[in-house]
Amino acid sequence: MANTIAVNDTYVNDGIKQPALIRFAAKVVSYIFHPVFIPAMVTAVLLWLHPINKLLISDFNKPRIMAMVVLYTGFFPLVAVFLLWRLKFIPNIYLRTQKERIIPFVIAMFFFFWIYYVSRNLEAFPASLKQFLMGVFISSASALFANIFTKISMHGMAVGGMVGFSFIQQFADVHWQSSWSLTALFIAGVVCTARLLLKEHRPVDVYAGFFTGVLCQVAASFMVGV
Question: How many structural domains comprise the chain?
Answer: 1
With 60 as the cut, is the pLDDT of residue 15 above it?
no
pLDDT higher than 50, residue 10: no
pLDDT given for residue 51 in this prediction:
94
Residue 5 lies in a domain: no
Residue 1 placed within a domain: no
Q: How many CB atoms lie within 10 A of CB 218?
A: 17
Q: What is the pTM of this model?
A: 0.89
* Structural domain span for residue 205: 20-223
pLDDT beyond 60 at 3: no
Residue 170 counted as domain residue:
yes
**10 lies in some domain:** no
**3 falls within a domain:** no
- Residue 204 maps to a domain: yes
Mean pLDDT of 63-67: 97
Q: What integer is the mean pLDDT of 206-215?
A: 97
CA 44, CA 216: separation in Å to the nearest integer? 21
pLDDT band per the 50, 70, 90 thresholds, residue 200: confident
pLDDT one-digit tens code per residue, 20-51? 888 999 999 999 999 999 999 999 999 999 99
pLDDT at 225: 62
In a domain, 15, yes or no: no
pLDDT tens, 87-102? 999 998 888 888 999 9
Assigned domain for 63 exists:
yes
